[in-house]
Structure formats: C-alpha cells, structure tokens
Homo-oligomer: A and B are copies of this chain.
Amino acid sequence: MKKFINSIDDLVLDSAAGLVMAHEDLLRLHEEPLFIHRRVPKKDRVAVLSGGGSGHEPLHSGYVGFGMLDAACPGLVFTAPTPDQIVAAAQRVDAGRGVVLIVKNYAGDCASFQTAGDMLDMEHLTVLVNDDVAVENSTHTTGRRGVAGTVIVEKMVGAAAEAAADLYECKAVGDHVNANTASMGLAFSSCIVPDTGTPTFEIGPTEMEVGVGIHGEPGRYRRSVMQADDIVALLLEPVLKDLQFPASRQVLLHVNGFGGTPLIELHLLNKLATQRLQAEGFKVVRWLVGNHTTSLEMAGASLTLTALDDELLSLWDAPVTTPSMRW
C-alpha cells in the first residue's frame, strides 16, 4: 500500500491536527473525543454540526468556519463518528439557540447521530441528506445515500444560521435544499482503505462503475468507458428525471471529483455539463467544481444539481470563510 501514513491508528487524529495547524486562524482541534470546531464561537445563533467517516476530505472538516459548520466530527476512515464525539461537539458549539445536525444517510451515521441526539440536553434537529439518485438501497444504506449534495446543504444551512434563522428555519432550509438536490457519479478506479490495504473493488482496465457510492460501494451497473460527452449525458439524465423541475428554473451545478481525478478533467466535465443543460433550456447560474466529497484517491466524479429559488441563491452567495470554501 503506497500512502503517506505513519500508523493506521493515528491517521485520522494526525490528519485533523494537520488541517487545524494550517488554518489556526479559523479552527481549533478537540482531541478527546475528536472534533474540529470554529476558533471564534458563534453567539446567539443556531449552531451547525456535521460529521461522518474520514476519507471524504475536505468534507466535513474543511467546511468548518464562518458561514458554514461550527464543528465537524471525523470518524475512522469510512466509519461513522461515535456518539460521544457528536455530544461533546454539540455541547461545545451550542450558543443557546440549538444545534442542527447534518447527517448523510448511511446506517452507521444515522445510528450514531440518533444515539447522540438522545443524549443531548439542548434543542436539536436533524437534516438527513440523501441526494444520490443511483440506488434506492445499498450496502451501507436503507434509502438513498447522501453524497456530494451534502456540501450544498452545509453551505446553505450554515448561511441561514449565520443570518439568525431559528432552529426550525435552519432545519427547513436543509430539508428544502436536500429535496431540490440530486447527484449521480461514476468511478474509474477503486480507492484503498488504509485498514485493509487492498482495493475495495476490482474493476477492469476499460470498465467504469456507474452510480458508484463514495465508499466505493456498487452502483447501478458496469459498462465500458465512454467519452466525456456521453458520460455527462448518462449522469445528468437520472438527476434531471429525479428533480423534475421546469427548465425555467435556475440551477447550481456541482462537478465533484472523488479524489483521484485531476482538475483538468473536472473542468472539462463542467464545460460539457453546463452546455448540455443550457441546450435543454436550463439556466445554470452557479457552479462548484473540484474535489469536495471524495473517496480517498478514487478516480471518478459526480454531477449534482440543486434547483434554486431566490432564498437558496442568496444563501449560496452569502459570505463563507472555511479552509475549502470561501467567498
């Protein structure tokens, strides 16, 4: 296994420490139990907390900061955080207005956040993200998986909280974004989870896994590699079918890389997807292109659309200052 790693036991903590060192103006590390939180706590605002397995960086810890998350709880690689991490983080960031928990729909994450929720002594509500249209149930999930749309939910809920929305309004924003967001991805290669040291799945030299999950779990089917134009059509079709919004609606397009695909290819996908959407009459008005919700070094990408209204557009445009998203 060729990775920059000292010991599997220390990887998640040491990596979190390295992130916080690089952004000491924004972030603080809480080691035991592990979470990353804002250096300057919010006052009199709803706190926004997320977490999940490590290996998807920058999700979630790279989005802690002004206008997005107050804290992120990283689990072991592809493993949910423990309830005590979530409880300790919620206690740290609660400013008396309650806490929104943003949870990707995986069985492990749901169980940990549910258990933590039962232990929390402040008001809290959960936003469940399940934007992946690839499969209805999967290896790790009952119902649809939460994937790259999570970043969009976190951005918009974070902006609402910063603008003094109350707990129920923040929850409503999150549910509204999730309902208007759909994603579909594919992979050219598997990642290698450090714990196992071997590829999660085998894939032939000319195959791609369509509908792959962000842990390398199976999608819809395998097929031969296609050219990028055809891939874009293949990914957009189920996303548009799921959202079923009128072509007059403004949309945010998120081209997400899974970690091992370089920017030159992601920008190409963005050009092709934008042009295809425009040709069908959609108004693409905002873009996010890059490796945001990754699967370690997996090669592949997903396309996510969010149907915007005036509220969501203004939440997207609101200022944000985090390690991996700032404007």
Contact = CB atoms under 8 A, between A and B. Distances in A.
Interface of A: 2-7, 11-12, 14-19, 21-23, 54-55, 57-58, 62, 77, 188-189, 205-206, 208, 225, 227-229, 231, 255, 259-272, 274, 287-289, 291, 294, 296-297, 299, 301, 326-327
Given A15-B267, A326-B327, A5 B228 contact: yes
12 contacts: A2-B225, A4-B265, A4-B268, A5-B268, A6-B227, A14-B272, A15-B268, A17-B267, A21-B270, A22-B288, A260-B262, A297-B299
B261 A297 contact: yes
Contacts of A272: 6, 14, 18
B2 A208 contact: yes
B264 A11 contact: yes
A40 B288 CA distance: 21
A228 B21 contact: no
Given A15-B268, A22-B270, 9 more contacts: A6-B227, A18-B269, A18-B270, A18-B289, A22-B289, A260-B262, A261-B297, A262-B294, A326-B327
Nearest to A269: B4
A262 B14 contact: no
A293 to B, nearest CB: 12
Contacts of A188: 2-3
B264 A228 contact: no
Contacts of A12: 264
Contacts of A274: 18, 21
A262 B134 CA distance: 24
A262 to B, nearest CB: 5
A55 B22 CA distance: 26
A19 B267 contact: yes
